[in-house]
Chains A and B, each alone.
Chain A
Amino acid sequence: MIEVKNISKTYGQGESAYQALKGVTFTIKDGEFVAIMGPSGSGKSTMMHILGALDTPSSGSYHLDGKDVSKLSEDQLADIRREKIGFIFQSFNLLPRTTVMRNVMIPLIYADVPEGEREKIATQALLAAGFDTSHFYHLSNQLSGGQIQRVAISRALVNNPTLILADEPTGNLDTKTGEIVLGTFQRLNKEQGRTIILITHEPDVAEHADRIIFIKDGEVVEDRKNHKKRIAGHH
């Protein structure tokens, strides 16, 4: 359960101050698949940082699973990210020259999961993301774009997070591969009941979600159910 109440975020001080968010309010229930959409400079990246506990709002409150995240210290935020949030970035951010398995296991290392269980959990996550078993021990720099993004999805899943936060996940992929990735999200949402928030500026991508929140100039301008949901792979 995600409850965002009247969140504002201001960067800088005095005359050069810039208000990226101006009183944003919404609630996302567990198991929802939501797209946050807006043009560049709309504040959607700032929204993602706050939802992902990478940053705290200047004012307003953000409750994640009933816990107020808006006033935590940096290390407490790290705990929240580790336990409740799985990130998928546009630029994938895999560790270079490191095996697929090890990349997926890294969140488990920080979560102090016993060494013997890590590989099993990572395997489950990789299978859930539809990653081919034969590539488990390939190095990250030997993979294709689609494979890399599947590894990134597995890494986001591996800690069994409350929320999966995908920031322009198809931005660096061709249309076909992008469709496959979006299909993976839809499947995870439908089959495993994962809460997924997709941050994007592309309407085509946003339309794969069940609900779309439009942000413009730091404010929510529209929050609607997506009635013409696109199913990945069916044009």
Chain B
Amino acid sequence: MKIKDTLHETYSALTANKVRSSLTVLGIVIGISSVIAMLAIGQGAQNSIQNSIQSIGSNLIIVMPGAQRGAGINISAGRGSAKSLTLSDSDAISKTVTSVAGVSPEVSSRYQVTARGTNTNTSVVGVESAYTTVRNVEVDTGDFISDQQVASGARVAVIGPTAKDDLFGVGADSVIGQSIKIKSIIFKIIGITKAKGGSGFGSQDDMIFIPITTAQRYLSGDQYVTSISVSAQDSASTASVQQQVTDLLMIKHNIKDAASADFSTLNQADIVSAASSVTQIFTVLLGGVAGISLVVGGIGIMNMMLTNVTERTREIGLRKAIGAKRKDISRQFLIEAVVLTFSGGVIGVILGWLISFTVNSLGILQTQVSLSSIVLAFSVSAGIGIVFGYYPARRAAMLNPIEALRYE
């Protein structure tokens, strides 16, 4: 029997029972489309998290103060709240550590900020001019904090677009030259940063930047900094920069043992990998749930094929009586199962892509349908067709023609 004839037989058998065939296909469609949509959403979440991590800067190493651990009782006020880093540390880093693109010490805290009667609670960050290069901040209008303003401790501020909207209303322009009050001290706005969008680890749009010296003098009242961001020249040198920074600060702070360092360093690559391992787990989880529905769909196929074999026992008997071999029978039933799963696979891929497209266009998440997930879903559906179709097909082929013909 030729393949073409087998396909024709399959076609007439499947169309003879349209409702049952389409319900079986539906099971596979749901399985495949959910696998594709879930993987696309997982991939989208992963990309979105990585993008927001990348937006805080590139090849960044963040040095944060931490409580010094020594002999006796340690009273920890929480990591990062201790005061152990100063501007001289950041100067030392930029002078001695090699392959560094920029060093940006920061003094940040949240304050109530007022302007013309409105007020908002936002992050006020004391920075140097290097902040723009290290943290990828661009100025939309006006200027950023200059070295001169840092040296003189000028009371000037550069505000983020969200902070601007909160203080002056949405769409307010010409805010440059206006004044805002931070902790009752008047600052003059000299620039507005470009919107970066994104969310995640604190929106960079909702910030106010002032010279670091001004922040130390008027706001924090001491000579410490809350963090030092160091940007390496390229991703390959981040590890070496991190090591050099650690070594340098240990010597400078007179610490022998790395375990009792009064600071900690955080590599951006570590954050990225930690975050992506989390999202990967989510993707696997979502894919796993979708995979279960795929298996359920497969069992649906097997169920239908078994019912089919039972219902068509006499037909099988007849086919055998008029000369069909076992091979002809098993091939026909196997192809029926494969055709069902294959068409379910095609519809499922289209539906999964549509779901992903909808999620995308509704702006929920930037999803991404990967070719590998389509290939995976497709091969799984074909595999299910073969695996779950094989048993019923074999059962049909092994039927004794005499008993099959007598079957009521």
Binding site for B on A (CB under 8 A): 49, 52, 54-55, 74-75, 78-79, 81-83, 87, 89, 91, 93, 95-98, 102, 106-107, 109-112, 115, 155, 159
A93-B318, A102-B12, A111-B323 known; A54 and B1 CB under 8 Å?
no
Task: Given A96-B16, A110-B328, A112-B1, decide whether A155 and B401 contact each other with a Cβ distance below 8 A.
Answer: no
Cβ of B323: which chain A residues have Cβ within 8 Å of it?
Answer: 78-79, 81-83, 107, 110-111, 159
Q: Are B325 and A75 in touch, CB under 8 angstroms?
A: yes
Considering the chains assembled together, what is the distance between the CA atoms of A81 and B402 in angstroms? Answer: 13
Q: Which residues of the other chain, A, contact B314 by a CB distance below 8 angstroms?
A: 91, 93
A109 and B5 form a contact (CB under 8 A): yes
Distance to closest chain A CB from B4 (angstroms) = 8
B181 beta carbon closer than 8 Å to chain A: no
Contacts of A98 in B (CB 8 A): 12, 16
CB pair A78 B16 closer than 8 Å:
no
For residue B325, give the distance in angstroms from its CB to the closest CB of chain A.
5
Chain B residues positioned under 8 Å from A93 (CB to CB): 314-315, 317-318, 405
Q: Are B322 and A54 in contact (CB under 8 A)?
A: no
Specify the chain B residue showing the minimal Cβ separation from A52.
Answer: B321
Q: 9 closest Cβ contacts across the A-B interface?
A: A82-B323, A93-B318, A107-B322, A110-B323, A78-B325, A109-B5, A97-B16, A81-B323, A75-B325
Spell out B's residues near A (CB within 8 Å). 1-2, 4-5, 9, 12, 16, 314-315, 317-328, 401-402, 405
Q: Are B402 and A155 within 8 A (Cβ)?
A: no
In the assembled complex, the CB of A186 is this many whole angstroms from the nearest CB of chain B, namely 24
Given the interface pairs A55-B402, A97-B16, the reply to whether A81 lies near B322 with Cβ below 8 Å is yes
Are B9 and A109 within 8 A (Cβ)?
Answer: yes
- List of B residues within 8 angstroms of A52 by Cβ: 321
Q: Are B322 and A87 in contact (CB under 8 A)?
A: yes
In the bound complex, residues from chain A placing their C-beta under 8 Å from that of B324 are: 78, 82, 110
Q: Which of A49, A82, A97 makes the CB contact (< 8 A) with B322? A: A82
B1, B317, B318, most chain A CB atoms within 10 A: B318
Q: How far is the CB of A55 from chain B (nearest CB, A)?
A: 6
Give 23 CB contacts A-B under 8 Å: A52-B321, A54-B401, A55-B402, A75-B327, A78-B320, A78-B323, A78-B325, A81-B320, A81-B322, A82-B323, A82-B324, A87-B321, A89-B318, A89-B405, A91-B314, A96-B315, A102-B12, A109-B5, A110-B1, A110-B323, A110-B325, A112-B1, A155-B322
- Within the complex, the shortest CB–CB distance from A101 to chain B, in Å, comes to 12
Beyond known contacts A55-B402, A107-B322, A110-B322: 9 more, CB 8 A cutoff: A54-B402, A78-B325, A81-B323, A93-B314, A97-B16, A98-B16, A107-B323, A112-B1, A112-B2
Query: Which residue of B2, B325, B328 has the most chain A CB atoms within 10 A of its CB atom?
Result: B325
Q: Judging by beta carbons under 8 Å apart, are A54 and B16 in contact?
A: no
Residues of B near A111 (CB, < 8 A) are: 323
For A81, the chain B residues whose CB sits under 8 A away are 320-323
**Bound complex: CA A151 to CA B171 (Å):** 84
CB pair B321–A54 under 8 Å, yes or no, is yes
Q: Across the interface, which residues of A come within 8 angstroms of B328, CB to CB?
A: 110
Could you tell me the distance in whole angstroms from the C-beta of B376 to the nearest C-beta in chain A? 37
Bound-state Cα–Cα, A106 to B319, Å: 8
Nearest B residue (CB) for A152: B318
Q: Which residues of chain A are near B401, meaning CB under 8 Å?
A: 54
